[in-house]
Amino acid sequence: MFEDLSKKLESAFKNLKGQGRISEINVAETTKEIRRALLDADVNYKIAKEFTDIVKEKALGQNVLTSVSPGQLFTKIVNDELTALLGGESKGLNLTGNPSVVLIAGLQGSGKTTFTGKLAKHFLSKGQRPLVAACDVYRPAAINQLQTLAAQVGVEVFAELENKNPIKIAENAVAYAKKMGLPIVIIDTAGRLSIDEQMMQEIAGIKNAINPSEILLVVDAMTGQDAVITAENFNKTLNITGVVLSKLDGDTRGGAALSIKNVVNKPIKFVSNGEKMDALDVFYPERMASRILGMGDVVSLVERAQLNFDEDEANKIRKKIAKNKFDFDDFLSQLQQIKKMGNIKDLMGMIPGIGNKLKQLDVDNDSFKAIEAIIQAMTLKERQNPDIINGNRRARIAKGSGTNIQEVNKLLKQFTDMRKMMKMMNGANLSKLLKG
């Protein structure tokens, strides 16, 4: 989402590279470039101006330490102010009541129903089993979509097909959850193509009937400043408790994420990427600010790895590396675990120094397909003993995988080099590295 903004901010900071001190002239040039970058990213003009005015004032009031360059100091100031603009610190869900009720609102097409499924899975991962209530009685197949998503996640859907009163359905869902001892109810409401009075009165009626502890508004980040306007209107009626930004993996300039907290004064609580049910992240302003500035987000990367990597499998791989027995079966297993963590470009954006270079890299989840095809075209003996793969075997593997000999040779060389590096690292140092 922030590739263009990150690139332009990096370019703006070049005004201070090689400078011995911060001056009014070089700060003015840099903040001017930053303001232009923010406006290009569809950030509200007033917010962009206020942001750069604060950055400029703080930069001119700073004395540069001998151990810190002007560019480093300026980057830190921008990072701190971006974090503040995005909300300062992460705000968790405030779940009260028995059961706790989470009301999901938003326009049609914003990703409400998909987010409802993702949130249900999020609660399951925390050891809480939610009930999902289908209160969209207008959109064709809305209930079927929710039932399909709930089945993927493994939660129950409360639906009353003959009842066309969403307020009553919501009330009945909460009563059912209380009776069954379910701690959380997620209410999926109807969306509209645009904000209208009937829609607002209906969802306000649901709110008044069930008294939710959380009212989360899902906004489509790809709509830019329209998302901010949507948030303002919903907030006036519902007094929302938080915002969910969906479709952050789309081709969007990201201005909504940078503007919405400032405009409605409500925290962004989740970001939703893609259609997979595990593609949901708690929103951390400081981590997002670091990613925008190309500083990565190692903490989130590690958290995703912990959620998706099998500990027993990791211990097995660790032992095989220690014995120099790592083979293509192990390599394929690791690739498949990495793919579970999410979009590859998104993951690479979490690595410091990589984010701003993503546009130059032709890397996505499909990049692994050829590698997987080559490995799967090998016999079991070849996967376990790559050294036996001679010319004839390479030709057969290339044909069987739908690739060519050059691609097979390239993978074999990369794998050999990787095993050599593992061998060099073997022993106590490798053991410490893997455990740490």
Angstrom CA distances, 88 to 136, 261, 267, 269, stand at 34, 10, 9, 12
The answer to whether residue 90 sits within a structural domain is no
The answer to whether residue 94 sits within a structural domain is no
The answer to whether residue 156 sits within a structural domain is yes
Same-domain check for residues 315 and 269:
no
Inter-residue contact 222 to 250 (CB < 8 Å): yes
The answer to whether residue 13 sits within a structural domain is yes
Strands ordered across the beta sheet of 100-105: 156-158, 130-135, 184-189, 100-105, 214-220, 242-246, 268-272, 280-282
Same-domain check for residues 314 and 416:
yes
Nearest to 191 by CA among 298, 85, 69, 105: 105
Same-domain check for residues 274 and 164:
yes
The answer to whether residue 300 sits within a structural domain is no
Return d(Cα 359, Cα 349) in angstroms, integer: 11
Same-domain check for residues 291 and 210:
yes
Residue 192, SS3 per DSSP: coil
DSSP E strands in 109-177: the ranges are 130-135, 156-158
Same-domain check for residues 77 and 110:
no
Same-domain check for residues 73 and 115:
no
**Residue where one domain finishes, among candidates 268, 295, 322:** 295
- The amino acid that residue 25 corresponds to is I
Same-domain check for residues 182 and 289:
yes
The answer to whether residue 109 sits within a structural domain is yes
**Residue where one domain finishes, among candidates 85, 111, 127:** 85
Same-domain check for residues 228 and 336:
no
- Over the stretch 368-400, which tens digit does the pLDDT of each residue have? 788 889 999 999 999 988 889 999 999 999 999
Element (H, E) at 27: helix 24-40
- Over the stretch 17-61, which tens digit does the pLDDT of each residue have? 655 566 777 778 888 888 888 888 778 788 888 888 888 888 776
Q: Tokens standing for 208?
A: 């008044």
Inter-residue contact 219 to 260 (CB < 8 Å): yes
The answer to whether residue 244 sits within a structural domain is yes
Residue 133, SS3 per DSSP: strand
Question: What residues make up the domain containing 146?
Answer: 100-295
Same-domain check for residues 107 and 81:
no
CATH of the domain at 333: 1.10.260.30
Q: Look at residue 423 and tell me whether its pLDDT is greater than 70.
A: no
Return d(Cα 381, Cα 388) in angstroms, integer: 9
Same-domain check for residues 204 and 343:
no
- Over the stretch 150-161, which tens digit does the pLDDT of each residue have? 999 999 999 888
- Over the stretch 257-267, which tens digit does the pLDDT of each residue have? 777 887 888 88
The answer to whether residue 225 sits within a structural domain is yes
CATH of the domain at 42: 1.20.120.140
Weakest-pLDDT range from 119-123, 228-232, 348-352, 358-362: 358-362
Nearest to 420 by CA among 381, 397, 386: 386
Q: Tokens standing for 278?
A: 């595990």
Same-domain check for residues 133 and 270:
yes
- Over the stretch 160-200, which tens digit does the pLDDT of each residue have? 888 889 999 999 999 999 999 999 999 999 887 667 788 88
- Write the burial class of residue 435 (CB in 10 Å: 0-12 exposed, 13-18 middle, 19+ buried): exposed
Same-domain check for residues 129 and 260:
yes
Q: Looking at the 3D structure of the chain, how many domains does it have?
A: 3
Return d(Cα 354, Cα 345) in angstroms, integer: 10
Q: Please state the φ and ψ torsions of residue 79, each to the nearest 5 degrees.
A: -60, -45
Residue 354, SS3 per DSSP: coil
**Residue where one domain finishes, among candidates 295, 326, 361:** 295
- Over the stretch 294-342, which tens digit does the pLDDT of each residue have? 654 444 555 555 555 566 666 676 677 667 777 888 888 777 776 666 6
Residue 216, SS3 per DSSP: strand
What is the rounded average pLDDT of the residues 416-430? 63
